[in-house]
């Protein structure tokens, strides 16, 4: 038999779906199922009869135990940082209360001024024996109104985990979360264990908590920097501890200070050179080709004294080191531009981060040395970033490690800007290469970068691409066994590293490299000339941009304007959405830098593989098929209006077009145009910029005839078009080699779109990765594409290719490609076609 329990509203206010909470942990259901109230009242009442469970994390959150469930009420978002200001408890831990009894007084004024939001999630701590059968949302409630109904399974009907008597394992961890185990990190721990069958508890302060209960974990009262011991039993015990290790660093050995987060893992075994020729695969961070010799960077970890010479002396030493690093960063910034300047500015902001400085100063007050304390602070924060799902945020942890390296070098009396001596054509290998390390290397002798870890969107990857330096990342520990001086061929176009290649392969690689360098010199000499085919057809070659800082390099490469401004990349690291004034200024800066050349602004393309912190989306089993692109903007009409008004204001400064992503049918376009009209009315009379759509789903390609007549231009996004046509996740590592936009099925949809555009006298462009693939360009021209928006590095090459072909020949090539049945066959055909014409295609 099962029972039901009714919960009534504990607060006056407006009831929201959990997905609307401005915090991803609650919005994605990681803290448990439930709903939220945007409060108008200042008293929190008991939603049912139960037992009070006060939480050491602070008065802003408390729980009720009822019928085997724990109902967590978390007043506001990020209210833990208020340190109990604005809250008055009216009950004690363990009190029995009845529905409607006052539990907490709260000040909405204090919360509004000091926290991110007053929205109050009311959730069930994850428990398979209790579920929600009914709930209300989207309405105003008063205290005592019906809120939701719980179904409680009969005793023994369900359990959190099944344990099969397997081994018991223990491991100590350092709690590196800000403010300790409050709601957000507790929910992350619960979510990490959800699919595992092990029984897991966390122990601290002589207390024990079920690691599958958010409330129980919060009840431990563990603060940042303290230790917890995890005890796991069952077949999944090892996997459970490994899951926890993704969120919290393993504690150091017992003889070390208990607060210290562990050093970043570095290989300590002697390097044994790989024997014989080998080919190692990797992830491309910056395309290119290099032939050279291996230079292995030593691991960064250094021994530092644990105890200091007294707080005043250690404070002074740390301040001198911070000032020295800051001065060096400012000096480099004065001479930098583009991506390098932006990264240096990010490091300057990070070195002044108040949370980082507060952690370091706290360590000094406890008697630790300056180097030890600063390392402890940076690694605790880096551990939090490493625990996040979004790889872009995980890669920011490298910036913290970079600052640590520089500060500790100065504290040791060394110059952090001094790099090792390099031989000619050095291919540098390391576990991880940090931005300051790259900037310290002799650019005249550096040929390429190879990293065992790291990611393709890290700051060092951006710097490498800006320098035209081939780089590969995430290659694994095998590359660390390459001995210094080993002959290497780094093919960062094909994503592979050749180790100890035979002499004849080295000769062939050098011949290829020399031909490539000669060709690049020749291409750049004509980069600013128009791209005209041999019979005089003009092909527009524009650039894809991520912000104003990229414009100068793109124009120097020969870009004739911007065919795609990715607005989601402008404000990625934000927790609050950008306002109208800020967006207007950024779009205006891009227009000014383009000096009268056209700018195509794509509206926010969030969702799927592009999560944005200030825009938490509902949990979706398949995000690629959920709220994406224009769907997200229409869902958040408030943010969409702000962006549209900013674009309209900026468009007064120069030629500008609006590009709508992920349009799948005419109704999408109709709603978007209505939103644009609303934005226009809000600003007053004025012209509307041309409006185009992204064709990136089979449905939009199949409906291109109908859609083309309703827009001013079409732009084909081949990355997503390939993903949806071939039913392959473009982020899936096992499918990366098979997901190819030159697949005949994708090419047929491109042809269909181009034909529809021409019939309606509309321009058709390709702005996806295929436009930057020199091997694909003649095929695209043959399919009817007349505008290409590329990454700046290949613009000169693309223009040179266009000048070497005729449209008639390209059409014959495209027709032949459409008759094939695989992408590999199309690539082989295109490669032979270009080789016969001496076009020296590079395989992208």
Distance set, CA 389 to CA 392, 434, 612 (Å): 9, 21, 12
In terms of Cβ atoms closer than 10 Å to its own Cβ (0-12, 13-18, 19+), residue 262 is middle
Residues contacting residue 227 through CB under 8 Å, at least 6 positions apart = 172, 173, 174, 175, 204, 251, 258
Do 409 and 323 form a contact (C-beta atoms < 8 A)?
no
Across the strands, what pairs with 800?
none
∠ CA 701-702-704, rounded to 5°: 60
Do 448 and 471 form a contact (C-beta atoms < 8 A)?
yes
Return the DSSP state at 224.
T
* Dihedral sign from CA coordinates of 480, 482, 484, 487: negative
How many angstroms separate the CA atoms of 56 and 626, rounded?
A: 38
Do 220 and 183 form a contact (C-beta atoms < 8 A)?
no
Q: Is 656 a catalytic residue?
A: no
Q: Is 459 a catalytic residue?
A: yes
Residue 770, both tokens:
């295929």
> Across 385-534, where does the E strand assignment appear?
426-430, 446-451, 471-473, 487-491, 496-499, 531-532
Q: Which of 283, 279, 335 is nearest to 489 (CA)?
A: 279
> Of residues 656, 767, 790, 810, which has the active-site annotation?
767
Across the strands, what pairs with 63?
53, 72
Residue with tokens 């402008």: 570
* Dihedral sign from CA coordinates of 366, 369, 374, 377: negative
> Of residues 60, 182, 459, 549, which has the active-site annotation?
459
Does an H or E element contain 677, and which?
helix 666-683
| Cβ contacts of 462-467, under 8 Å, gap ≥ 24 | 462/339, 462/343, 463/339, 463/340, 463/343, 463/435, 463/438, 463/439, 464/285, 464/286, 464/438, 465/285, 465/286, 465/287, 465/339, 465/793, 466/338, 466/339, 466/340, 466/553, 467/443
3-class SS at 245?
helix
For residue 472, report the phi and psi dihedrals to the nearest 5 degrees: -130, 145
Q: Which of 697, 638, 622 is nearest to 662 (CA)?
A: 697
Annotated catalytic sites, by residue?
459, 767
């Amino acid at each position: 038999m099962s029972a039901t329990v009714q919960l009534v509203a504990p607060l006056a206010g407006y009831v929201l779906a959990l997905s609307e909470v401005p915090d991803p942990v609650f919005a994605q259901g990681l803290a448990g199922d439930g709903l939220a109230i945007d409060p108008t009242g200042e008293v929190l009442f008991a939603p049912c009869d139960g037992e009070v469970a006060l939480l050491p994390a602070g008065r802003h959150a408390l729980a009720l135990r009822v019928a085997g469930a724990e109902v967590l009420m978390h007043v506001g978002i990020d209210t833990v940082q208020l340190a109990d200001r604005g809250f008055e408890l009216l009950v004690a831990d363990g009190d029995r209360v009845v529905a409607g009894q006052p539990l907490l007084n709260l000040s909405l004024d204090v919360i509004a001024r000091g926290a991110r939001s007053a929205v109050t999630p009311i959730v069930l701590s994850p428990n398979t024996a209790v579920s929600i059968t009914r709930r209300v949302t989207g309405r105003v409630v008063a205290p005592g109104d019906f809120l939701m109904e719980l179904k409680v399974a009969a005793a023994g009907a369900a359990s959190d985990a099944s344990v099969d008597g397997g081994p018991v394992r223990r491991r100590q961890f350092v709690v590196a979360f800000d403010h300790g185990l409050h709601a957000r990190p507790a929910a992350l721990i619960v979510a990490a264990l959800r699919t595992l069958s092990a029984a897991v508890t966390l122990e601290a302060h002589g207390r024990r908590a079920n690691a599958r209960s958010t409330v129980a974990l919060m009840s431990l009262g563990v603060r940042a920097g303290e230790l917890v011991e995890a005890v796991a039993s069952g077949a999944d015990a090892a996997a459970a501890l490994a899951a926890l290790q993704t969120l919290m660093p393993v504690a150091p050995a017992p003889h070390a200070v208990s607060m210290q987060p562990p050093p970043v893992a570095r290989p300590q075994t002697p390097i044994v050179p790989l024997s014989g020729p080998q080919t190692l695969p990797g992830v491309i961070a910056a395309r290119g080709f290099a032939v050279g010799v291996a230079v292995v960077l030593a691991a960064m970890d250094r021994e530092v004294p644990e105890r200091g010479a007294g707080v005043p002396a250690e404070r002074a030493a740390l301040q001198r080191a911070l000032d020295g690093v800051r001065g060096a960063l400012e000096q480099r910034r004065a001479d930098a531009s583009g991506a390098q300047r932006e990264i240096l500015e990010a490091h300057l902001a990070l070195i002044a981060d108040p949370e980082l400085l507060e952690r370091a100063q706290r360590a000094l007050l406890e008697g630790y040395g300056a180097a030890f304390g600063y390392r402890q602070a940076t690694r605790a924060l880096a551990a939090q970033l490493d625990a996040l799902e979004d790889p872009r945020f995980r890669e920011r942890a490298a910036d913290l490690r970079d600052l640590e390296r520089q500060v500790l070098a100065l504290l040791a009396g060394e110059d952090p800007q001094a790099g090792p001596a390099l031989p000619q054509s050095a291919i540098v290998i390391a576990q991880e290469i940090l931005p300051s390390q790259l900037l310290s290397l002799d650019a005249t002798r550096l040929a390429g970068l190879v990293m065992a870890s790291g990611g393709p969107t890290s700051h060092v990857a951006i710097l490498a691409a800006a320098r035209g330096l081939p780089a590969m990342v995430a290659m694994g520990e095998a590359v660390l066994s390459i001995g210094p001086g080993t002959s290497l061929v780094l093919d960062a176009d094909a994503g592979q590293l050749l180790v100890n290649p035979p002499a004849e392969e080295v000769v062939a690689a050098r011949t290829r490299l020399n031909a490539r360098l000669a060709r690049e010199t020749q291409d750049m000499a004509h980069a600013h000339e128009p791209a005209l085919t041999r019979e005089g057809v003009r092909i527009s070659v524009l650039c894809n941009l991520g912000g104003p800082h990229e414009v100068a390099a793109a124009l120097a490469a020969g870009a004739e304007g911007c065919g795609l401004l990715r607005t989601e990349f402008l404000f990625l690291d934000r927790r609050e959405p950008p306002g109208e004034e800020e967006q207007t200024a950024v779009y205006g800066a891009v227009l000014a830098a383009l000096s009268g050349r056209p700018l195509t602004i794509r509206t926010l393309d969030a969702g799927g593989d592009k999560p944005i912190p200030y825009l938490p989306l509902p949990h979706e089993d398949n995000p690629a098929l959920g709220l994406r692109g224009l769907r997200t903007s229409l869902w958040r009409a408030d943010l969409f209006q702000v962006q549209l008004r900013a674009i309209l204001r900026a468009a007064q400064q120069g030629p500008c077009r609006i590009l709508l992503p992920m349009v799948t049918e005419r109704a999408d376009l109709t709603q978007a145009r209505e939103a644009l009209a609303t934005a226009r009315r809000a600003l007053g009379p004025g012209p509307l910029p041309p409006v185009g759509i992204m064709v990136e789903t089979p449905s939009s390609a199949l409906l291109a005839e109908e859609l083309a007549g309703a827009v001013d231009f079409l732009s084909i996004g081949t990355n997503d078009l390939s993903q949806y046509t071939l039913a392959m996740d473009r982020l899936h590592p096992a499918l990366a080699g098979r997901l190819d936009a030159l697949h005949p099925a994708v090419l047929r949809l491109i042809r269909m779109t181009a034909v529809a555009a021409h019939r309606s006298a509309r321009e058709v462009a390709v702005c996806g990765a295929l436009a930057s693939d020199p091997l694909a360009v003649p095929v695209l021209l043959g399919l009817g594409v007349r505008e290409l928006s590329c990454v700046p590095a290949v613009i000169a090459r693309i223009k040179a290719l266009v000048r070497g072909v005729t449209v008639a020949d390209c059409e014959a090539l495209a027709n032949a490609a459409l008759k094939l049945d695989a992408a590999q066959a199309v690539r082989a055909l295109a490669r032979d076609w270009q080789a016969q014409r001496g076009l020296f295609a590079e395989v992208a």
